[in-house]
Amino acid sequence: MNELLTANEELGLLLDSSLEMSIREFLNQMMIYNSGIKEIRTKLEILDEEFQTKYSYNPIHHIESRLKSVKSILDKIKEKKLEVTLENIRANVTDIAGVRVICNYLDDIYKVEDLLVNQSDVTLLRRRDYIKTPKASGYQSLHLIVEVPIFLSDGPMPIPVEIQIRTIAMDFWASLEHKLKYKSDNEVAEDLRYRLKICASAIQELDTEMQNINNIIADRNNN
């Protein structure tokens, strides 16, 4: 609820007076996006608990979530040179609801993906694998846009949710890289970008080695 109140305050500052009558509709839409986050989180938590019960193992280390800020939503609409309307927001901004899944090992990432997207009420809209093909910066993560139905008083509404799945090491790198870019006004010197890529490569090697060690231990326990 605090996030929705914050959205209300931001709207008062950012929206033209001609659009103020749609604040209530906007807040209702944000509530629905927040419900999408809850739906995905619940599904992931159930899957993780099932693994713990069946195999005494949790593929998920922890889960984070967020609603995109009103400013970021409006900036995205303006970048696309579209009128600021609820219809344009719904149709053109698919990452308002965001869930980040932090896994222990590389294999867990794809295991969680398969278990989630194969559920009958989850529709995969877009998939980008920045683990097998990292970004130029060195960034690694699996990005999914899925659609999940939210059951409201007047019927179900499909809601897109962005899901980022990564290891602990990938999340550590991405978090620090984001902070460095923020401190540098989104520009990082060439030599530092090179050093960040070296760190990303080291993290990739670390994740691979930790996965190999885990596989060896699992094989020995099964024999």
**pLDDT (tens place) for every residue of the chain, 223 residues total:** 455 545 555 555 455 534 544 777 888 999 999 999 999 999 999 999 999 999 899 999 999 999 999 889 988 998 999 888 888 899 999 999 999 999 999 999 999 999 999 999 999 999 999 999 999 999 999 999 999 999 999 999 999 999 999 999 999 999 998 888 766 555 667 888 889 999 999 999 999 999 999 999 988 888 7
Count of alpha carbons within 13 angstroms of residue 30, beta-carbon side? 22
Exposure of 103 in the CB half-sphere (CA atoms within 13 A): 23
Residue type at position 119? Q
Pairing of strands 97-103, 155-167: parallel
Residue 95 burial class via C-beta count within 10 angstroms: exposed 0-12, middle 13-18, buried 19 and up: middle
Q: For the segment 156-191, what is each residue's pLDDT rounded down to a tens digit?
A: 999 999 999 999 999 999 999 888 876 655 566 788
Alpha-carbon gap, residue 85 to 69, rounded angstroms: 16
CA dist 35 and 41 (Å) reads: 10
List 155's β-bridge partners, or say none. 152
In contact, 146 and 120? CB cutoff 8 Å: no
CA–CA separation, 4 vs 96, rounded Å? 13
Q: Which residues contact 55 (CB under 8 A, 6 or more apart)?
A: none
pTM for the full model? 0.87
**What is the distance between the terminal CA atoms of the chain, rounded to a whole angstrom?**
51
> What pLDDT is attached to residue 17?
39
Alpha helices in 66-186 (DSSP H): 70-79, 86-92, 106-117, 168-183
Q: Give catalytic residues, as residue numbers.
A: 162
Write down the residue that tokens 């998920």 correspond to. Answer: 60
CATH class of 2-168: alpha beta
Please name the helix (run of DSSP H) or strand (run of DSSP E) that holds residue 61, with its range, or none.
Answer: strand 60-67
Model pLDDT, residue 183: 60
Question: Exposed e or buried b for every residue in 47-62, given b needs 16+ CB within 10 A?
Answer: bbeebeeeeeeebbee
